């Protein structure tokens, strides 16, 4: 309908003539315009990014000769089989353990924060909480990790507090528990869980808060009118409605922990993680095929988790 208007326009400004002609032609030829717009991003992502990913997957079938330390392009499933060797499988289980613990810890700490800010906060308080949650989320990852190495060290502020509160014996008792303890806080799994929990906590709070925000208040009023106690309303009405939000948050905490390789090097006991294993294999050892096979593990675990999350309705809560 507007073709006639546009084409009847006499362009007086000659300097921009070609540009204008181009803009008008593109507006009229929708498909051509779409193609032109999509080509650069598609080339970038389709060729550079997906190309690299597939090249990596392909290399996971290559052979690594442990005597000559060389990679040859003979296709084999040996790398995938060796994932199930006791030492390698331990790495996977250890990482999975950590991802699950961190997810549970962030949900437990994050829920009250999200719950308080949405249900009880005044508009100003809500804004304050929101900024107070996104600021640490965006603060530099390495700086936050560094801050925790300072806090957890034996000369650090946490030990200082524990010492002055006279709780050293309690701390030592906790650190003696096998699996979660260690020599010091900084070399224990407790320390590692604290740091991971801290770093991914905002990623849990925001989806829970969004889910809480969407719960219609008349449902809660109806529940109260029908005689439910606050605890009953919470358990039977509110929590089931907000649960997809918790699952949505857990997607982030789970997959981010699974792929991390910096924090396991800085805090906690010495055992390898999937991330640190991949890093060592591609770096100092040069065993790219095994490293590539190891990267498939988080992809599969995250895919399984996403499928479960989808059934829990987490994608509608994102």
Partner 1 sequence: MPFKSKASNTSTASAPLWLKILAYGGLVFLHFPIAVILLNAFLSSDGTLSANASWLSHFTLHWFSVAFAREDVISAILLSLKVASMATLLAILMGVMAAAALYKRNFFGKEAITAMLILPIALPGIITGIALLSAMSMLEISPSIWSIVVSHATFCVVMIYNNVIARFRRMPHNLVEASMDLGADGFTTFRYIVLPQLATALLAGALLAFALSFDELIVTIFTAGHEITLPIWLLNQLTRPRDAPITNVVAMMVMLITALPIIAAYYLTRGTETLEGSGK
Q: Residue 179 or 281: which CB sits closer to partner 1?
A: 281
User: How many CB atoms are closer than 10 A to CB 177?
Assistant: 12
Size of the site for partner 1 (CB under 8 A): 107
Among 256, 280, 285, 315, binds partner 1 (CB under 8 A): 256
Q: Is residue 233 a contact residue for partner 1 (CB under 8 A)?
A: no
Rounded to the nearest whole angstrom, what is the least distance from the CB of residue 260 to partner 1 in the complex? Answer: 8
Among 86, 131, 226, 300, binds partner 1 (CB under 8 A): 131
Q: Is residue 264 a contact residue for partner 1 (CB under 8 A)?
A: no
Which whole-number Å values give the CA distances from 267 to 38, 143, 186, 196, 309, in the listed order? 44, 14, 5, 10, 30
Q: Residue 46 or 271: which CB sits closer to partner 1?
A: 46
Among 14, 84, 120, 284, binds partner 1 (CB under 8 A): 120
Asked whether the beta carbons of 90 and 97 are under 8 A apart, the reply is no
Q: Residue 23 or 77: which CB sits closer to partner 1?
A: 23
User: How many CB atoms are closer than 10 A to CB 201?
Assistant: 22
Residue 2 has, within 13 A of its CA and on its CB side, a CA count of 6
Could you give the angle at which helices 288-311 and 50-59 cross, rounded to 10 degrees? Answer: 120
Among 77, 90, 160, 170, binds partner 1 (CB under 8 A): 160
Q: Which stretch binds partner 1 (CB under 8 A): 26-34, 76-84, 166-174, 308-316?
A: 26-34
Beta bridge partners of 239: none
Beta bridge partners of 63: 72
Q: Residue 174 or 306: which CB sits closer to partner 1?
A: 306
């Amino acid at each position: 309908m507007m073709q006639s208007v546009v084409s009847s326009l006499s362009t007086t400004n000659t300097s921009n003539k070609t540009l204008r002609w181009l803009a008008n032609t593109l507006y009229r030829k929708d498909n051509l315009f779409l193609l032109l717009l999509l080509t650069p991003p598609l080339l970038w992502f389709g060729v550079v990014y997906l190309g690299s990913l597939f090249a990596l997957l392909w290399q996971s079938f290559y052979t690594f000769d442990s005597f000559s330390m060389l990679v040859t392009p003979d296709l084999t499933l040996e790398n995938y089989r060796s994932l199930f060797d006791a030492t390698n499988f331990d790495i996977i289980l250890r990482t999975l353990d950590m991802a699950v613990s961190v997810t549970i810890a962030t949900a437990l700490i994050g829920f009250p924060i999200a719950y308080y800010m949405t249900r009880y906060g005044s508009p100003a308080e809500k804004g304050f909480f929101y900024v107070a949650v996104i600021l640490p989320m965006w603060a530099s990852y390495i700086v936050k990790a560094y801050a925790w190495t300072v806090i957890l060290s034996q000369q650090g502020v946490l030990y200082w507090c524990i010492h002055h509160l006279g709780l050293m014996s309690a701390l030592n008792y906790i650190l003696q528990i096998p699996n979660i303890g260690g020599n010091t806080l900084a070399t224990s799994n407790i320390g590692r869980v604290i740091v991971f929990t801290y770093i991914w906590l905002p990623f849990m709070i925001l989806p829970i808060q969004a889910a809480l925000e969407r719960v219609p208040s008349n449902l809660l009023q109806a529940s109260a009118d029908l005689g439910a106690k606050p605890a009953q309303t919470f358990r039977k009405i509110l929590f089931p409605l907000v649960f997809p939000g918790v699952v949505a948050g857990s997607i982030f905490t789970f997959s981010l922990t699974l792929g991390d390789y910096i924090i396991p090097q800085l805090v906690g006991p010495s055992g390898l993680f999937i991330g640190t294993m991949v890093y060592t294999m591609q770096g100092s050892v040069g065993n790219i095929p095994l490293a590539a096979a190891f990267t498939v593990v988080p992809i599969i675990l995250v895919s399984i988790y996403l499928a479960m999350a989808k059934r829990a309705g987490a994608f509608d809560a994102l």
